[in-house]
Structures are given as C-alpha cells and as structure tokens.
Amino acid sequence: MRNLLGGALMPRVCGNCKYVTEDLFVNDCPLCLRPLALSSRVGTLGEEPRPRLFSRRNLLIAAAVLFIGVPLAVISFIFTAPTYCLSPAGEADSLGTIRVGMPVREVCKVLDIESPPRAFSGMITWGRGGRMLRLRFIDGKVVAIEEGNLPFTVTVTKVQPQTAGRK
Ligand SMILES: [Zn+2]
C-alpha cells in the first residue's frame, strides 16, 4: 500500500503531456496511455529529444556540403577565375599539338570538342584530367596559348566568343 502513502503526498503526473491527477489508482495517463509518474520524479522522466551536434541529419548535411558543395565551389572557381593556374605557353602547348596560328577547327579536332564558326574570335577554355588550356583566337586563328596543371581532375569546355566591337 505504498501507493496510498506516497500518492497522498505526491500527485501523479504524465511525463509526456503533464496531465496531473490526485487519483492514486490511475496508473496510465488517460490522454496518451503512458504510465504515470510521481510528480517529484517528473523532471527525471523527460524523454524530450535534445538536438545533437552529430545527429544523423547534421552528418548528412555536412556530407552533402563536403561532397557536393566543395566540388561545386571548385568548379565554379575554375569557370570564373581560370587564370590562377594558367601561364603563357609561348608558341605551342606542352604536347606540341596546338600552336599559334593554328585554325580553330584543327584545334577543336585535337581537343575533341565541337568547333565554333571558322572565323571565331574569342577564348576557349579547355580542361581534361589535371591539364588546362586557355586559347585565344582572332579571326579563327590561335594567337595566344596558356597552359596550367591542376592538382585535381577537371572536365571543362568553355567557348567565349569575343563581344562585338572589342578587339
Ligand atoms: Zn499523458
């Protein structure tokens, strides 16, 4: 009969919904059907999930940032600022396959990309594996070659025609 003794001093409380009753013979919360606790112990019975730093959800977000966000940032960086790894290559690229004065169609054949119009003026940025090229064309001929090596693999094909009026 310890229920009588203890219960007289301590009303019963549901740890889930805070339902309180003085009825000593009610063992389960009528609202959520969970076992009732003595009110003095309510504080220790809380089962509220606290946000954890290394929860499954946070780890998934961190993984997404690492495996999607970082490569995206790297790729966009290469697209927007490819010059950081490029340096002038002189009359020909390191393989000797692309030379100043070469027609754009021939260059695109070497690079295995679709060729812009025959009289193309502008820039072609090309990257495969860790190798990167930036070629400048005027009237369909190579006028400048820049080459660089990256510490990671890229696949970049960017054809930028020169805007009319600027030369
Ligand atoms: Zn309840």
Side by side, which strands form the sheet with 12-13? 20-21, 12-13, 37-38
Q: Determine contact, residues 144/124, Cβ cutoff 8 Å.
A: no
Supply the pTM of this predicted model: 0.52
User: What's the gap in Å between 54 CA and the centre of ligand 1?
Assistant: 30
User: What's the gap in Å between 5 CA and the centre of ligand 1?
Assistant: 23
One digit per residue, pLDDT tens: the chain, 167 residues?
A: 444 444 445 788 888 898 888 887 888 998 999 898 887 644 444 455 566 677 888 888 889 888 888 888 877 776 665 556 788 999 999 999 999 999 999 999 999 999 999 999 999 999 998 899 999 999 999 999 999 987 778 888 999 999 765 44
Q: Hey, which bits of 59-139 come out as E strands?
A: 87-88, 122-138
